[in-house]
Amino acid sequence: MSESPEPQQLQQQDSVWQWVASSDYRCPTTPTVITIKRWWHSLRAQSGKDNETEQPEQSVDVLKFSINEGLQQLDHMLQEWRDDDEDQSVRWLISPPHSPVNEIAKTWANANNIVDLQTPKRDELCLDTLNVELPQGNHAAPWFVPELAHCYLRQSKGLRWVRAFFAQALSGDIGKGLVVCDSWAWSFLRKLWPVSQPKTLTLQAFDAEALQTLGLNRDVEHLKHLASLSRGNLGIACAFSGSRYRRQLQQQQSPFELPSMPAETTDSTAFILHMLLLHRGLASYQLHQVLPIVSPTHLDIELQSLNYCGLIRKTESQWYVTPTGYPVVRQALSARGLWLDHF
């Protein structure tokens, strides 16, 4: 397969499911005209000239989608690489939080009988007995890593396996493979081991037109705001597709109802959220492993507070940033100067 994805992109123009090099990701923004228009309405409303008392619109239908088209496009994108026995390179799929990239990649790997590479469990990553050697690859059979973010811990002994993995995977020692990695983890791991951008693919952002094509019936202004809020992330757009929408900005800065950060947001709060995103979810005791500077009691208090605000949720003992909390969390981390993903 050629390293540049341009030829495939041209063939995908009719589909809203476009796989592009991660550097070609274009985040949708709210057009300035719409923003000014909204502020004008707000000013009129505040000065009493606009007597319409606005009730937030409650959307009844939420966006539901099928990954089939995304799967077909991915298959088309990886077809040449999959079939070329000479090509022993690794392909990387970058997945922003809650986006459907993981699900598509898993389905594609299953459909092509690609087996998962044996990766250590999180609790084994910091053990002295950890074996970082990977089995030498059968060059005819590709392998699959469903989530690289679960294969490291940002802890003094937690980077050994992922570093060895990069060394062996990129040297071709273990054959060809497909790796899915969370966008936040990828942003951090690139500091550990830079990988060339053309080999990293992601789903192009879903802008207002794409959301409409997927069947979300809203006016253009609403769709553009939704695309901008979700930064083109389909999972986040789905989470907000059924939420209330205000046409006039009053006290709130967003037309959507967003959860708030806790009143007492400290460095510890930001670090906890950052670590949850970097690792795509962590258990409480793992959070303590990666943040020993925060005392266990304080950590629990912060987790409860964030949970109460609706920014994080616990699923099977792991804490995750919620889809509706994600835009708020990302904004808060950006304001504090923390290392962000590129999506």
| Contact positions vs another protein (CB under 8 A) | 128, 154-159, 188, 191-192, 267, 271, 274-275, 290-293, 335-339
Q: End-to-end alpha-carbon separation of the chain, Å?
A: 25
- Least distance in Å: CB of 336 to another protein? 5
Residues 6+ apart with CB under 8 A from 127: none
Q: Which is nearer to another protein, 211 or 299 (CB)?
A: 299
Q: Which is nearer to another protein, 165 or 206 (CB)?
A: 165
Q: Which is nearer to another protein, 226 or 291 (CB)?
A: 291
Q: Which two tokens stand for residue 198?
A: 């053309």
- Least distance in Å: CB of 156 to another protein? 5
- Least distance in Å: CB of 263 to another protein? 13
207 Cα distance to chain centroid: 16
Among 223, 233, 287, 213, smallest CA distance to 256 is for 223
- Least distance in Å: CB of 337 to another protein? 4
Q: Which is nearer to another protein, 121 or 191 (CB)?
A: 191
Q: Which is nearer to another protein, 210 or 272 (CB)?
A: 272
* Strand partners for 243: none
- Least distance in Å: CB of 100 to another protein? 28
- Least distance in Å: CB of 286 to another protein? 13
Q: Which two tokens stand for residue 197?
A: 């951008």
Q: Which is nearer to another protein, 45 or 278 (CB)?
A: 278
Cα 183 to Cα 203: distance, rounded to the nearest angstrom: 12
Cα 326 to Cα 321: distance, rounded to the nearest angstrom: 6
Cα 24 to Cα 206: distance, rounded to the nearest angstrom: 13
Residues 6+ apart with CB under 8 A from 340: 184, 187, 330, 333, 334
